[in-house]
Structure 1
């Protein structure tokens, strides 16, 4: 690696932007190997922008490997993450929380946790908005039927609340009072109520019944904070009604409403 590592890195870097998916996969497999070698960590970190672009790719295997390369890099030496990189990472990582691949979800959550830990001090304030936006998706995922995903989401949710210095919300979760948590979250972030409801919407159609119930109950809590006469607020209500009407009549969440009291 001392003699040829730099040349190998340059070659792999060129193929990361290839128009052929298989070449990009091969390049990432090579970077996965290099990212585990302490001699090459700095070189791999120099490809951050190219790797960030790959996180938006529609190829799940590419995304999984790119996330693994990032994790290898931050775990190797615990080097602080700059503000611009942290902001770009958390933006894409939030979209990956709901990815249709358990490995991508777990890796994105693990990397999100590392960003919260390693972002430089001056980057913590700019990151707060993105961290607030992550709270509800992490809350839902902490109730997923997959125990590994649920546990990882719970741990990162607690860390995110510490990052935001929201001891009130953290205490409610740890006291097993999820509905107090939901109500307090929306109450303290009223300007985000529509955003929160949009985040909850996909879970109404989740194949997991508990997540459907969770989403329905959260939307009920959030709805009381909507403002009459506001176009955006009324639009979300229309969409929710259409979604509920489209759900099958024999859905346990719909047919057994007393469970949602």
Structure 2
């Protein structure tokens, strides 16, 4: 690295020593802040780290710096735009959103469409902060299409922050979502319940603004933890969406398709995912005006769900069965048991259908654990009995 860069970093340290305690400067060093300032690919992370430390000492000082950055960020000066954006995002909570909000929102909306993942991620972190303010939430309607696109991004952190922005905005209960936007949201959300569409977990992602102790994530979270967070957020957003949307016939097919995944996720070993599933299932039942199913969820009686659902909606039994089949291969034994029981109950409702797919799937499970194997054998017996009864009834 050339000496001018090193000289600049040493100058910054000398200036900050006049503002900050030596312990703070040492903490920045332990987090590799000074080293990151010397590297082009990590420079903006270091600027964000410095901004956080400055905010602890003088919010007014950070506010004045941020206000002076706004005109330059609006013009878009490529050489230092990324570190300036990193600084702005870290000190957004120091600004008055009613005064600076429109300018900040304009800057952020431009970076949401950037081809640079870091710019998009920083823009989303800024939106997470702004979306908590009612006045700003109303102004964010214009970003709906851009945010919908980001829900399909391969960057897990970007998807999580986008979900959080939608949850914050809808949670304020001050706006209604139009049916076309709600329909697009439901189409994107349904695969997220089981994390079907996301690519690799991103590296070096900054933690969302607003945490008490912001940290740099220099390694990916365990994959199951990433899945759980996405499931939880996507289901929480579904519940908020059901409350903020006018009831429309065009939305009902997607709501029907969400019922079985919610039922199985209600039994997830992760309690946060299970609770988010229960709340989402309640929102779906209320949207469909199924009072008995709504009461079942309120009373927390999941064991009654399959019979209630399959009795109420016989026209979609085959569809619900196809949704339950993947859970036969779940690594969690309780979910495999649940899927077998679901298929056994469904077999009684499929009077005029030949559930060949169920037979094939359950026969593959007779070599599972003793508990699973016995349950699969019993359910196979039920399905074959239903087939014989249906055959003789037909003749």
Alignment of 1:249-260 (within 5 A): 249-252=367-370, 254-257=372-375
TM-score by length of 1: 0.82
Q: 1:52 aligns with which of 148, 156, 162?
A: 148
Matched with 2:47 is: none
Task: For residue 214 of structure 1, report the CA deviation from its aligned partner.
Answer: 0.5
* CA–CA distance in structure 1, aligned partners of residues 351 and 269 of structure 2: 31
* Structure 1 residue 152, shift from structure 2 partner: 2.3
- TM value normalised by structure 2: 0.57
**Unmatched 5+ stretches in structure 1:** none
1:200 counterpart residue number: 324
- The answer for the alignment partner of 1:168 in structure 2 is 292
2:228 matched to 1:110? Answer: no
Q: Classify 1:203/1:226 alpha carbon distance in 2 versus 1 (closer, same or farther; 3 Å).
A: farther
Indicate the residue corresponding to 1:90 in structure 2. Answer: 186
67, 71, 75: which one aligns with 2:163: 67
Task: Tell me, in whole angstroms, the C-alpha distance in 2 between the residues paired with 1:85 and 1:260.
Answer: 46
CA distance in structure 2 between the aligned counterparts of 1:190 and 1:78, rounded to whole angstroms: 37
Q: Using a 3 Å threshold, how does the CA distance of structure 1 residues 258 and 84 change in structure 2: closer, same or farther?
A: closer
Deviation at 1:250? Answer: 4.1
Q: Residue 158 in 1 paired to residue 282 in 2?
A: yes
Q: 1:108 to 1:20 in 2, by over 3 A?
A: same
CA deviation profile, 1:44-96 (whole Å, cap 9, x unmatched): 22100110111122322111000011112122352111111222222222221
Number of residue-to-residue matches in the alignment: 252
Report the CA distance shift for 1:242/1:219 in structure 2 as closer, same or farther (over 3 A).
closer
Q: Equivalent residue of 2:250, what SS?
A: helix
Provide closer, same or farther for how the CA distance between residues 216 and 118 of structure 1 changes in structure 2, counting only shifts above 3 A: same
Q: Does 1:189 align with 2:189?
A: no
Conserved in 2, the CA contact under 8 Å of 1:45 and 1:73? no
Residue of structure 1 in register with 2:35 after alignment: none
Distance 1:44 1:176, change over 3 A: closer
Higher RCO (C-alpha 8 Å, min separation 6): 1
Q: Does the aligned pair in 2 maintain the 1:34–1:44 contact within 8 Å?
A: no
Where in structure 2 are there 5+ consecutive unaligned residues?
1-96, 196-223, 380-395
Match of 1:108, SS state, is helix
2:175 touches 2:244 (CA, 8 Å); kept in 1?
yes
